[in-house]
């Protein structure tokens, strides 16, 4: 999991790389290629947004040792598992607690339900965008 300082360093590097591309193009041609600057800026913003989102959603939080299972019993904490998601700002990987019921042996991550990504690898925003396109 990345710390806030690591994200700040990555953001500074991304912005420096963007500015380098912009000013290299300016030196070569003598003018700004607005479309190229727009696209590079959007790409940088998406990469940074994905890093921030990944950090926020994987933030360490206290979690229960047991949670209710749909079968009526209690599921016990088993491990922290990763999950890849496609979000509107790009792909991310989150870390979340995973529980298994000793009675029915079903596994679950309540965090998936909380984020509305249970049974899918697409964020709610991405699903909404996909629905608009279809």
The pLDDT tens digits for 81-133 are: 999 999 999 999 999 999 999 999 999 999 999 999 999 999 999 999 999 98
Global pTM? 0.78
Q: Name the domain boundary from 34, 57, 80.
A: 57
d(CA 98, CA 79): 5
Query: Do 70 and 127 share a structural domain?
Result: yes
Query: Do 70 and 53 share a structural domain?
Result: no
What's the confidence (pLDDT) of residue 1? 45
Residue that is written with structure tokens 């309540």 in the block: 110
d(CA 83, CA 110): 13
Domain limits at 29? 4-57
What's the confidence (pLDDT) of residue 2? 56
Query: Do 72 and 124 share a structural domain?
Result: yes
Query: Do 22 and 49 share a structural domain?
Result: yes
Query: Do 76 and 21 share a structural domain?
Result: no
Which two structure tokens, joined as six digits, stand for 43?
């790409």
């Amino acid at each position: 999991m990345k710390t806030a300082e690591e994200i700040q360093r990555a953001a500074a590097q991304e912005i420096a790389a963007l500015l380098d591309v912009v000013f290299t193009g300016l030196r070569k041609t003598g003018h700004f290629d607005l479309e190229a600057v727009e696209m590079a800026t959007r790409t940088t913003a998406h990469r940074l947004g994905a890093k921030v989102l990944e950090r926020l959603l994987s933030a360490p939080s206290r979690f229960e040792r047991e949670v209710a299972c749909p079968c009526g019993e209690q599921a016990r904490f088993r491990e922290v598992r990763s999950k890849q998601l496609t979000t509107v700002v790009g792909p991310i990987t989150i870390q979340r607690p995973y529980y298994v019921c000793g009675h029915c042996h079903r596994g679950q991550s309540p965090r998936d339900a909380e984020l509305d990504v249970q049974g899918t690898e697409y964020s709610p925003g991405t699903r909404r965008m996909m629905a608009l396109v279809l």
